[in-house]
Amino acid sequence: MNPPTDSKQREYSRAEVAKHDSVKSLWVIRGNQVFDLTTFHTDHPGGSDVLLQFAGQDITEVMRDSTIHKHAIQAYRVLKDFYIGEITAEERQDHSTSELGKDEMDCIEEEKFLDIHRPLVKQMWNSQFTNEFYLREVHKARHLPQPAVFFENKFLEMFTRTPWWVIPMYWVPILVTLLVLGSEYEPANVMLVGFVFGLISWTLMEYSIHRFIFHYDENLPEGTLAQGIHFLLHGVHHFLPMDPMRLVMPPALSTFLGLIILGILCCIFTPGMIHAVAAGLTTGYMLYDECHYWLHHGTSANKHLSQLKTYHLRHHYKDYKAGFGITSDFWDNVFGTKFATPE
């Protein structure tokens, strides 16, 4: 197996690696190579606790163990970025080859898509990918320990990053305004009905937007422009699913979509009910965004929340053509888009 090129390559004893067994310093051994996962463990799709069980240990066979979780080649691509050195010659061990007939690290193909270390938008604009290649590569998760860069221009870059706390800070005042204005037209009981209707309606809207707009994959027109729009709208989230600054929609875009939805509501409902339904939809949207952020970066001992996290991350790391529900799998059950086999 050829180790990653690294001018700072060092050798470590197994005892030395074993000392790095905490969240403050988490190292592992894989195939006689040493990897520092300190900045990655919180982003691990299976949760931080899983990695901590094997901190400081040799995980070569663990990563192949299907009873725990058999890792795809893409996981080895991510792991490769955290390489820091080799196990000392006298402590090296022989490991069996994988089912592919060679070591998994040797199965990693040279990156021919986007360089995650350079501004992404310019690369997409100058690309000439076929749709088949683009859709295959954009749905292979990569990882960076820090937010990716979209634009070289820092002013433009600022508008591409949205921390989770921006959502309630921006939308709660709008929500309150909708409820206050609506109460001038309808009594509280009518407003409550409209609000609940809007909240429930959001769950179907969430599913529909994710499935039919964000994943307008198979029908995507050929060409850089269509791919660029797809990439900015949702593709980058599959390309870099753990980027903390791209997990919620920027207010400028969500406001634009919100105004379109408000225009539709104005054609259906009367004043008061318009405000109530819009408030319910707004609340649903905020809960969805915050839930989505948590599904990628949160942990919980609650069984239901853990299952929901596993369900969503399976959409990212296993099968992007199923599992479109974020806050619930209800509509996946209704429309038959649950995963084909149980996890």
Give the residue numbers of the binding site: 44, 71, 210, 215, 234, 237-238, 292, 296, 312, 315-316
**Per DSSP, what are the bridge partners of residue 35?**
28, 83
| Tokens 């707009």, residue located | 213
Cα dihedral 92/93/97/98 (nearest 10): -90
User: What is the rounded CA–CA span in Å between residue 31 and residue 85?
Assistant: 11
The H-or-E segment that residue 303 falls in is: helix 303-317
- For residues 135-148, b (16+ Cβ closer than 10 Å) or e, as one string? bebbbbbbbbeeeb
Q: Cα–Cα distance between 65 and 62 in angstroms, integer? A: 5
Measured in degrees and rounded to the nearest 5, phi and psi for residue 285 equal -65, -45
Three-state secondary structure string covering 318-342 = CCCCCCCCCCCCHHHHHHCCCCCCC
Sole residue written with tokens 């725990």: 68
Q: Which residues are annotated as a binding site for Zn(2+)?
A: 210, 215, 234, 237-238, 292, 296, 312, 315-316
Binding-site positions for heme read 44, 71
Question: Among all chains, which residue has been given the structure tokens 């592992």?
Answer: 28
Distance CA 197, CA 210 (A): 20
Enumerate helices (H) and strands (E) in the chain, giving the number of each: 14, 5
Q: What's the one-letter identity of residue 277?
A: V
Taking residue 212's Cβ as centre, other Cβ atoms within 10 Å add up to 11
Q: Tokens representing 49?
A: 């606790």
